[in-house]
């Protein structure tokens, strides 16, 4: 199953893997937990994730790799263009995205999450699909910079839409 780290976990009655001898640890995109770190100054509050974390009495670590990389909020939206993260004004922000992803990876390694849930389609946090770099709303298969770095370092990731389906059986709109 996507999103569940296998080391030191067992499977609860709900099918969710949980740390042995401790509360579940969840690493989440900060915007999903209601932090106003999204490019437009808003958030992507995910009630299903917040409720799930409360029900599990989980320890939750929120990270926003773009903010960790030194980008302001609000900021100009970015997409991955020919392998480099570039904002809509054609300014390369690849270094900031990668610096933030590295910082967030270190936090993940220190935390040791059982579950990682990231915002869908983000150029940092997207796990299955990202925008194609044309700023026209077209999606392609791919991962954001942070999600990719996590998987390259052995973590399983799930995105917010997959999480909604797993937990409630239907996707958020």
Residues that bind ligand SF4 (CB under 6 A): 29-31, 37-38, 64-66, 119, 122, 124-125
CB of 22 or CB of 72, closer to ligand SF4: 72
CB of 16 or CB of 127, closer to ligand SF4: 127
3-state helix, strand, coil in the chain (%, to 5): 30, 25, 45
CB of 16 or CB of 145, closer to ligand SF4: 145
- For the CB of residue 36, give the shortest distance to ligand SF4 in the complex, in Å: 9
- For the CB of residue 32, give the shortest distance to ligand SF4 in the complex, in Å: 7
Instruction: Please report which residue ranges of the chain form alpha helices under DSSP H.
Output: 47-55, 65-68, 94-111, 145-152, 160-168
Question: How many CB atoms are located within 10 Å of the residue 137 CB?
Answer: 7
Q: List the one residue out of 38, 135, 7 whose CA is nearest residue 81.
A: 135
- For the CB of residue 122, give the shortest distance to ligand SF4 in the complex, in Å: 4
- For the CB of residue 48, give the shortest distance to ligand SF4 in the complex, in Å: 16
d(CA 109, CA 99): 16
By the 8 A CB rule, do 125 and 69 touch? no
CB of 19 or CB of 160, closer to ligand SF4: 160
- For the CB of residue 4, give the shortest distance to ligand SF4 in the complex, in Å: 20
Element (H, E) at 80: strand 78-81
Parallel/antiparallel/unpaired status of strands 25-29 and 59-63: parallel
CB of 10 or CB of 152, closer to ligand SF4: 152
């Amino acid at each position: 199953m996507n999103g569940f780290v296998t080391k030191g976990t067992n499977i609860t009655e709900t099918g969710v893997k949980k740390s042995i001898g401790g509360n579940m640890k969840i690493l989440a995109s900060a915007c999903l937990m209601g932090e106003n770190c999204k490019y437009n100054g808003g958030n992507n509050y995910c009630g299903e994730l917040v409720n799930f974390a409360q029900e599990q009495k989980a320890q939750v670590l929120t990270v926003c790799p773009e903010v960790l990389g030194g980008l302001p909020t609000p900021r100009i939206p970015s997409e991955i263009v020919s392998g480099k993260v570039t904002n809509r004004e054609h300014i390369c922000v690849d270094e900031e995205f990668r610096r933030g992803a590295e910082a967030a990876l270190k936090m993940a390694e220190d935390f040791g999450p059982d579950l990682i849930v990231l915002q869908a389609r983000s150029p940092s946090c997207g796990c299955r699909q990202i925008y194609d770099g044309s700023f026209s709303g077209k999606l392609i298969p791919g991962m954001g910079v942070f999600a990719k770095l996590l998987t390259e370092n052995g973590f399983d990731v799930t995105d917010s839409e997959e999480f909604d389906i797993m937990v409630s059986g239907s996707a958020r709109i």
